[in-house]
Amino acid sequence: MGFVVTNECASSALADIAHAEPFEPRYEPRSDELRHLYREEGQAKRRMDARPGLWIAVAIYLLFSATDLLLIPDVALYTIMARFAVGVTALLILEAQLRRGVGTEWIDVTCAGAIIFGYVGWLCPAVMGADKESVSYYMVFGTIFMMSANLFFTFKFSLSIVTSAIILVILYAVNYFVPSTLMYKLVFGTFYISCFTFTSYVNWKLNEERYNVFLNALEAKIQHKEATERGQALLNLSRTDPLTGLENRRAIDEKLRDYWSDWQRSGSSFVAILIDVDFFKRFNDYYGHQEGDRCLILVANALAEMIKQHNGSIGRYGGEEFIVLARMEKREQVADIAEAIRSTVENLALPHEQRRDGISVVTVSVGAAFTRPQTGAKLEKIIHEADRALYLAKAGGRNCTWLFDPNDPQSSDESENIAALLKIAIGQDLVSLVYQPIQNVTSGRVEAVEALMRLKMLDGTSVPPSLFIPVAERTGAVLALGRWAIRTVCTELLADDHVRVVSVNVSPIQLKTPGFATSVAAILSETGVAGSRLALEITEGLEMEMHSDVLRCISDLKLLGIRIWLDDFGTGFAGLSWLRLIDFDTVKIDRSFLHDCGTPRGKAMLQDIIALVRNRGHKILVEGVETDEQMAIVREFDIDKIQGFHVGRPAPAASFRARPVTYKRQFSVVKSA
C-alpha cells in the first residue's frame, strides 16, 4: 500500500543480516493519508455493493405496488407505472455505468438519484388520489426513502445528508399543500424531522464505526505483512547458502523432491548434475581461504547465470560441490548442459597454478544422471547415480563430464564395492603379486618374469583382475597400486638378484600423471636397482591418447634405462601408430592370434603380424603358449620369447628366489591379469 517500509533480504546481502536490523522502524501514516486510503477502500466497497443494493431496492420498491392497490386504488395504475419506469431506468443506467467503468462517485449519484426519483415518481401520482385522507397517511411511507439514503446504501455521509434532506423538503412541501388539520401537520412534521435526525445520526455513527474497522483492519494487515516478511526472511536464511547466495542443501533437497514427484506422477523427466571444483584443497592451501571463498562465489555466479538459460535450479551441495536440477526430455540435452557447465567454469580462467596436471586454471568435474524407467522408486537413487558419474569424471582426469550409464560395468554396484576395497587394499595387505616366467625360445631359459597383481576381499575371496583393474583405473587407485607394484618387485626379486628382469604393466593414467617417471626413479634409487632390469608394458588395448605428456614420460623412462614393451599388440587400433612413434624394446603379440592358428587363415594372420613387427626391428614375445603344438608354431616362426602355461604358471616370489641367475638380459614388468 506504500505506507510501511521494510528491508528486503536479498541473497547478495545475506552475510550482512546478522549485523543489521532485519526491518526498519514502521512509518506511521498521517491522518490525511489514512483518510485518503479509507476513501479509496470505501470506493471499492461501494462499487462492489452498488449493483446488488440497487437491484434489491428496486425489487422492494416494486413490491410496494400492492400497497398502492390497497390504499390509493384510483391512482394505483399510475403509481405502479411510475415505479416500473423509475426502477428500470435506474437499473439500466447503473449497468451501463458499470460496463463503461465510470467513477464510483457517479455510481453513488445514480443510486441517490434513484431514491429521490423513486420517491417523487411515486408521490406525484399518489397525491392525485381522490381519498385525501388516505393520501395524507400514505405519505408517511416517504420516510422509508429517507432511511434508505442513510442506512440501506453506504454513501458518503455528505451525500446521504443531501439525499435525505431533499426527501425531507419534498415531504414538507407536499404536507403543506395536502389538506389536513394543523395537528396532523404538526405531528407528522415532527415525525419527519425526527426520522431525518435519527437516521442521519445513525448514518454518522455507522461511518465512524466503518472508519474504526478500517483502521483496525489496516493495523492487522500491517502486522500480518511484517510477520510474513520476517518469516520469509528467516525462511530465506534457512534455505540459502550464506557464502554464494545459492540455495543450500536443504532447499535443493526440497526442490529435488518436487522434481521427483512430478516425474513419478506425470513422467516429467529431469537431470541431476553434481559439480566438483577440481583440486580445490590445493587452491585453498596455496591462495588462502579468502581467495578460496572468492573462487566459489565466482563459480557460483557464473553457473547460476548459465543455468537460468535452461530454466534449471542450482544449489551448493557442500564444500566445493554444487548441484543442478533441470527438466530435460532427451539424454542429448543432458550432455549439452553438462558440457556447458564445464566450459563456463573453464572460461572464467581463474588462476590455479598448483594443480600440476598440465592445467593452470580452475576447472570442474561434472557427473550427471537422467531419470529413466529403471531409476526406481527411491529419490536417493538418482543422486547416487550422479555421484557415481562424478566419480568417473574425476577418475578420468578431471575437467570433464560423465553421464551415468547403467550398462557401463564401471557403474555397477559391484564396482563401487571394489572401489571401496581398493582404498584399503595396500594398508590391509589385500593386494599381492605373483610372477609368471618368460622364456627365451632359442636357449630355453627363463629370462624374465611378469608380475601379476592379485586382490582378495576381507573374507579372503579372490577378486578377478578383469574386475578390479578397470575400477582401479577409473577411480585413480591405480596410481598408488602402480607405485606399490614397482617397489614390491624391486624389493622381492630385483634387489637381491633373484631375477634379472621383471615386467610391470602401466596404465595410461600413470603415464599422464605428472611426476610418474620421477617417482619410478626414486624407487630404483632407494632399492639400488638399475633401470635396465625393469620393463614397463603399455597395453595397446587401452585407449591411449597420443598426448605430448605421455610421450615425454616414456622418453624420461627410457633415459633411466627402463625397457618399454608394447603389450597385447593387435587387439586395439593404436598399435601401428605407437610402433611408429616409440622405439619399443619388445612387442607382445596377444594370445588370441596364437590360439587361432588351428585354421590356415589364423596362422597366416599371425605370420603377417610377426613380419610387420620384425620389419620394425622389435623383439617379439608371444603370449598364451599352452600346448606342444603351439610351442612348435612359435619355433617355426622363429619367435624370440614366449609366455604361457607351457612355460610356467604364475607363482609367488619365493618360487624364484632359489633359482640361480644365469642371464643378464632385460625382461618384463608387472601385468595385472
Please tell me the predicted confidence (pLDDT) of residue 1. 35
Arithmetic mean of pLDDT, 78-99:
88
Query: Which grid coordinates belong to 492?
Result: 622381492
Phi, psi angles (nearest 5°) of residue 249: -65, -35
Q: Which amino acid is at 34?
A: L
Please tell me the predicted confidence (pLDDT) of residue 455. 93
- pLDDT mean across residues, the chain: 81
pLDDT at 672 over 60: no
Higher pLDDT, 37 or 224: 224
Please give the DSSP secondary-structure letter assigned to residue 19.
G
Q: Are 612 and 642 in contact (CB under 8 A)?
A: no
Phi, psi angles (nearest 5°) of residue 180: -165, 170
**From edge to edge, which strands make up the β-sheet containing 364-370?**
313-318, 321-327, 270-277, 364-370, 401-403
Query: Which grid coordinates belong to 137?
Result: 397517511
**Band (669; pLDDT cuts 50, 70, 90):** very low
Please give the DSSP secondary-structure letter assigned to residue 491.
I
- H-only helix segments in 426-513: 465-475, 477-489, 508-512
- E strands, 301-376, in order: 313-318, 321-327, 364-370
Q: Are 646 and 630 in contact (CB under 8 A)?
A: yes
Q: Which amino acid is at 291?
A: E
**Band (376; pLDDT cuts 50, 70, 90):** low
pLDDT at 283 over 70: yes
Please tell me the predicted confidence (pLDDT) of residue 23. 40
**Band (7; pLDDT cuts 50, 70, 90):** very low
Q: Which residues make up the CATH 3.30.70.270 domain(s) of the chain?
A: 249-411
Distances (CA, A) of 277 to 283, 395, 539: 10, 14, 31
Question: How far, in Å, CA of 639 to CA of 86, rounded?
Answer: 122
Burial of 303 (0-12, 13-18, 19+ CB in 10 A): buried
Arithmetic mean of pLDDT, 177-196:
75
**Band (667; pLDDT cuts 50, 70, 90):** very low
Query: Which grid coordinates belong to 532?
Result: 635396465
pLDDT at 326 over 60: yes
- Tell me the percentage of the chain whose pLDDT exceeds 70: 84
pLDDT, tens digit, 9 for 90 and up, residues 564-607: 998 888 765 445 667 777 888 999 888 888 988 888 898 888 89
pLDDT, tens digit, 9 for 90 and up, residues 530-567: 999 999 998 754 445 455 677 888 999 999 999 999 88
Phi-psi domain of 399 (left: phi exceeds 0; alpha: psi -120 through 50; beta: other): left
**Band (178; pLDDT cuts 50, 70, 90):** low
Question: How far, in Å, CA of 565 to CA of 189, rounded?
Answer: 128
Give the CA dihedral 119, 123, 124, 127, nearest 10 degrees.
Answer: -170
Residue 332 CB neighbours (<10 A): 8
pLDDT, tens digit, 9 for 90 and up, residues 52-62: 878 888 888 88
pLDDT at 664 over 50: no
Arithmetic mean of pLDDT, 328-341:
88
**Beta strands 502-506; 446-456: pairing state:** parallel
Q: Are 54 and 149 in contact (CB under 8 A)?
A: no
pLDDT at 100 over 50: yes
pLDDT, tens digit, 9 for 90 and up, residues 127-159: 787 777 777 777 777 777 877 777 777 777 788
Question: How far, in Å, CA of 55 to CA of 325, rounded?
Answer: 56
Q: Using CA of residue 211, residue 215, residue 216, residue 218, what is the dihedral sign? A: positive
Please tell me the predicted confidence (pLDDT) of residue 39. 67
Question: How far, in Å, CA of 207 to CA of 49, rounded?
Answer: 15
pLDDT, tens digit, 9 for 90 and up, residues 479-534: 999 999 999 999 999 988 888 899 999 987 888 888 999 999 999 999 999 999 99
Query: Which grid coordinates belong to 554?
Result: 616414456
Arithmetic mean of pLDDT, 626-644:
91
Q: Which residues make up the CATH 3.20.20.450 domain(s) of the chain?
A: 417-656
pLDDT at 447 over 70: yes
Give the CATH number of domain 417-656; options: 3.20.20.450, 1.10.3720.10, 3.40.920.10, 3.30.930.10: 3.20.20.450
The contacts of residue 422 (CB under 8 Å, 6+ apart) are 455, 468, 471, 472, 475, 477, 481
Provide CATH code, domain 249-411: 3.30.70.270
In three-state secondary structure terms, 337 is helix
Arithmetic mean of pLDDT, 105-126:
83
Please tell me the predicted confidence (pLDDT) of residue 513. 86
Alpha carbon 386 to its chain centroid, in Å, reads 12
Looking at the annotation, which residues are catalytic?
Answer: 320
Longest dimension (CA), the chain: 157
Higher pLDDT, 86 or 666: 86
**Band (220; pLDDT cuts 50, 70, 90):** confident
Arithmetic mean of pLDDT, 422-438:
92
Arithmetic mean of pLDDT, 314-338:
89
Burial of 619 (0-12, 13-18, 19+ CB in 10 A): middle
- Tell me the percentage of the chain whose pLDDT exceeds 90: 26
pLDDT, tens digit, 9 for 90 and up, residues 394-407: 877 789 999 988 76
Please tell me the predicted confidence (pLDDT) of residue 530. 94
Question: How far, in Å, CA of 221 to CA of 216, rounded?
Answer: 8
Distances (CA, A) of 614 to 582, 587, 608, 642: 15, 9, 10, 15
**Band (302; pLDDT cuts 50, 70, 90):** very high
pLDDT at 181 over 80: no
Please tell me the predicted confidence (pLDDT) of residue 456. 92
pLDDT at 104 over 60: yes
**Band (182; pLDDT cuts 50, 70, 90):** confident
Arithmetic mean of pLDDT, 303-331:
90
Helices and strands per DSSP (H, E), number in the chain: 24, 14
pLDDT at 670 over 70: no
Arithmetic mean of pLDDT, 627-643:
91
